[in-house]
Amino acid sequence: MAVVTLDKLTKVYDRAHLPAADAVSLDVQHGEFMVLLGPSGCGKTTTLRMIAGLESISAGTLSIDGRVVNQVPAKDRDIAMVFQSYALYPHMTVKDNLAFGLKRRSIQRAEIERRVVAVADTLGLSGLLDRKPHALSGGQRQRVALGRAIVRDPKVFLFDEPLSNLDAALRVSTRGELAKLHRRLGATMIYVTHDQVEAMTLGSRICIMNGGKVVQVGAPLDVYQHPANTFVAAFLGNPPMNLLPGRATGEHGGLTVQIGEATIVLPSDKWAPLPAGAAVTLGIRPESVSEQVANGGAFATLPAEIAQVELLGAETILAARIPGVERDVMARVGATSKLKVGARCTLSLDLSAMHLFDAAGDALAHKA
């Protein structure tokens, strides 16, 4: 295991107008499963490749266990990387693919045999050691790629979207195998993905990136429940958080916000008064929007017309038009919902689960 420290790590490519990774600072602790999450082009893979030594560092420092490794070649960093493509040698058997890196390091044959057998048993590859990659399924090939990294027993494992080439069902099962593997090995792992489900289910912590910068770092549920800005709020969740633009009216002690044609009074025990006329964005998750008008508690109601109904079996997703609001409001309701497209209803918003963002998109703090 190892501690990996990124201190203002920056990568600027020739002729590029903006950095691909811009002053990325991050501490990955011993045995942590850190996920770098973000949309395509956000800098997450570039950051991973700098950690691996596959990209030069333009500025900042990279340390592993307190040792600065900016100028250390990739082969000397004691890091193993699993790529998006399997990158297996097609002419070699599974056993030879697993053993290849160890042979290059002149490890004794008996030790190579021991490690290969142990890893094959761990990953369920024992019966496939004599096969070549063309005779394996996609999931089996990915397990061989994982095994080739594990067999080296490195300080740090790096994963560059390793599940993106798998079909949906296989992605779920392999994701579970990865989680079990991390618990078993207790190794430091850094994992790049654009898939929020992978990030939420695998990560000890998530580092969300956008435009080459770190936007927010935290435990999966903390990031989901307390987004730092509207980008994180909209990026996490399916459907994403509803973001309703509004304006503070200055009424009710500065706790009233106009959303379209509706007026919402904020709970006074949760929010400080807002300046009259201040532009704000009200954020609320679809699971906190109900088709039933609640009794008691802090709730607001919005008149709505159902624009779309998605029946998913265990639940129903509603898209509703709100007078004066440009975007549809999404609601995750029970499977027994009877609402149809075109129906008029009143949506209930749980204000205890509401978020407020300022004009710049940054989260407003709850009242102390």
Q: Report the pLDDT averaged over residues 16-21.
A: 90
Are 4-234 and 235-357 in the same CATH fold? no
Q: How many CB atoms lie within 10 A of CB 142?
A: 25
Name, of 82-86, 154-158, 190-194, 363-367, the range with top average pLDDT.
190-194
Q: What is the pLDDT of residue 8?
A: 96
Note the pLDDT tens digit of each residue in 63-89: 999 999 999 999 899 899 988 887 899
CA distance 201 to 23: 27
Mean per-residue pLDDT of the chain: 91
Domain 235-357 has CATH 3.40.50.2000: no
Note the pLDDT tens digit of each residue in 182-192: 888 888 999 99
**Beta strands 355-357; 279-284: pairing state:** antiparallel
Q: Is the pLDDT of residue 161 over 80?
A: yes
User: Max alpha carbon distance in the chain (Å)?
Assistant: 79
User: Rounded to the nearest 5°, which phi and psi values hold at 156?
Assistant: -135, 135
Q: Residues near 183 by Cβ (< 8 Å), separated by ≥ 6? A: none
Q: Structural domain boundaries of the chain?
A: 4-234, 235-357
Residue 344 near residue 303 (C-beta atoms within 8 A): yes
Q: What is the pLDDT of residue 297?
A: 63
Note the pLDDT tens digit of each residue in 205-258: 999 999 999 999 999 999 999 999 999 999 999 999 999 999 999 888 888 999
Q: Which of 143, 102, 109 is nearest to 125 (CA)?
A: 143
Q: How many CB atoms lie within 10 A of CB 262?
A: 20
CA distance 161 to 172: 14
**Residue appearing with tokens 């954020």:** 283
Question: What is the spatial order of strands in the sheet that 262-265 belongs to?
Answer: 262-265, 256-259, 242-248, 279-284, 355-357
CA distance 287 to 151: 43
* Domain made up of 4-234: CATH architecture: 3-Layer(aba) Sandwich (3.40)
